Amino acid sequence: MLYLNKRNKTQKRMQNELEHEAVVFARYLGAKEISPSLQLRYYKAVETLPLKLNAKETALLKRITRFSFLLPFIDGGLALINTKHGIRKRLLVMFALMETDTMYADMFLTKDVQPFAIIGFFYKGGVAMLKGLAGACLLKCLRWS
C-alpha cells in the first residue's frame, strides 16, 4: 500500500511538471491562454510517444521551466547545434497539438500580406538568428548541451 501511495505521488508530481512545461512551451509558441485540454493532451503525448529525456536534457528542461525567458535562446541554440534534441522534439509535439486545436487554429492561418512585410520578415529572421547564436554560445560555454 505504501508503494502505491509513493507511486501516485510521483505520478502526480510528474503530471504537474508536464502541465507546467506545457504552459511554458505554449506561451513561447504564441498562445495567450492555455486550455486544460491542451495540457492534458500534451501530458498524454509525452507519456505515449518516445520523448524521454536523459539526465542532461532533464536538467536543461528544469532550467527552462524555471527561467522561461531562456527558452527562445535555448531553442535557437539547439536548432543550430542539435536538431534532434529531446526538448526540441517536445516543442514540436506542442506545436503540432496547438495546430490541431480549434482554439489556436487562427494562429496558423495565412493572413493578408502588407506591401512592406518583407522588411519585417528579414528583421524577425535576423533577431531569431541572433537568439540562436546567443543560445548556442550559452549552451556550449556553460556545457548545458
pLDDT band at residue 6 under the 50/70/90 scheme: low
- pLDDT score for 7: 58
Q: For 36-62, what is each residue's pLDDT tens digit?
A: 999 999 999 999 999 889 999 999 999
Name the CA radius of gyration of the chain, rounded: 17
pLDDT band at residue 3 under the 50/70/90 scheme: very low
Q: Above 80 in pLDDT, residue 140?
A: yes
Cα–Cα distances in angstroms (integers) from residue 32 to residues 3, 35, 42, 110, in the given order: 40, 10, 17, 19
User: Cell digits for 110?
Assistant: 495565412
pTM score: 0.86
Average pLDDT on 53-77 reads: 93
Sequence-distant (≥ 6) Cβ neighbours of residue 49 within 8 angstroms? 93
Average pLDDT, the chain: 88
Average pLDDT on 9-27 reads: 88
Q: Above 80 in pLDDT, residue 110?
A: no
